[in-house]
Structure 1
Amino acid sequence: MSDGPVNEADLDWTDHEHGDRTFKRKQIGDAAGGEQLGASLYAVPPGKRLWVRHYHEGNEEAIFVRGGTGTLRLGPDAEEHTLEPGDYVALPAGEESAHEIEAGDSELRLLMVSTMNEPDITVYPDRDMVGLYAGSPPGGEKADRTLSTYLDINAEKEYWEE
């Protein structure tokens, strides 16, 4: 249950730096007591990228551009779309929503929301990789996860093989 409104100014940024994937994040949904819907504010410096291109099999996401410009690479073919303030993008579960975001010449500010269903599978098509999550969804409390792993998408084992 919510304790009332949460103001973004009262929350600290969490910095993420992984090469050209550099951004800041405020998890406002969690701070407000959200359980079934996650929401995060992002600030992406000029020319930097957000998360690795991916899509979810069990969760829907959405993007609302609050400031700056950028490029969205969307779908199986990574078709490029310009992002501007006021743009909204729905990302239903599945391959058609594979996405990656890159900031333009100024800082890109986004509000991203998602359902918080678990278990979930996240597919990273450019890396032939999958992420498996149970106990807590991506973006949820890591300490509550009973399964959180990344695997080669082609890793297989026969059911009866020991």
Structure 2
Amino acid sequence: MPEQTDPPSYHPVSSGEIELETYEKGSRFAIHFKHLTSAIAGDDYNVGVALEELPAGKQSNQFHFHMLEEEHIFVLEGSCTLRLGDKRIPMHAGDYVMFPAGRTVGHCLINETDAVCRYLVIGEQNPNEVSVYPDSNKVQVRWLDERYDRRMQLDYWDGEVTD
């Protein structure tokens, strides 16, 4: 019988010691973030926590929903607008929202103020995740590291020799 070992233990880390990274795309999308879990565990985790800063006038990421991952957001400082399906919901410091896996309602944050909005993102890291992007009609399959245009849907038997 193989010897059982305890999972690794990780020591606390100060968020002030973690370098702030930036993701930007064009003039519309930008976030500054510290991936707290990665700073401790690298890629060896199931649930991750990131501290994000959404600059004034920017959107956090593409409008999307998750098929296999649950996501949570807790606003620490400032304000932003949650785009949730066809609704726009103001969020302020102390507000919390969660996005259950498999719900086909898109979400993203937009900072329509003139100040930074800081929040925590807590979510799973499922290697088999499938994300859907309704605005651009894409599907992303993480395991394959590929994205597809949903307009190109095929019948189940397309391409198969059936006779």
Q: TM-score range with shorter-chain normalisation?
A: 0.7 to 0.9
Letter in 1 for 2:110: E
Two-structure CA RMSD over aligned residues (Å): 1.5
How many residue pairs match? The answer is 147
**Which residue matches 2:110?**
102
Q: 2:15 aligns with which of 4, 8, 14?
A: 8
Structure possessing the higher radius of gyration over alpha carbons: 2
CA distance in 2, matches of 1:26, 1:51: 16
Letter in 2 for 1:155: M
**Which residue matches 1:152?**
149
CA distance in 2, matches of 1:97, 1:8: 32
- Cα displacement (A) at 1:93: 1.1
Gaps of 5+ in 2: 1-7
TM normalised by structure 1 equals 0.84
The secondary structure found in structure 2 opposite 1:32 is helix
**Which residue matches 1:143?**
none
TM normalised by structure 2 equals 0.84
Q: 1:67 aligns with which of 53, 58, 77?
A: 77
Q: Is the 8 A contact 1:72 1:101 kept in 2?
A: yes
The structure-2 alpha-carbon separation of the partners of 1:121 and 1:82, relative to structure 1 and needing over 3 Å to count, comes to same
The structure-2 alpha-carbon separation of the partners of 1:159 and 1:118, relative to structure 1 and needing over 3 Å to count, comes to farther
Q: 1:18 aligns with which of 16, 25, 28?
A: 25
Letter in 2 for 1:25: F
Gaps of 5+ in 1: 135-146
Note the 1:131-146 alignment, pairs <5 A: 131-134=140-143
Q: 2:54 aligns with which of 38, 44, 60?
A: 44
CA distance in 2, matches of 1:3, 1:36: 14
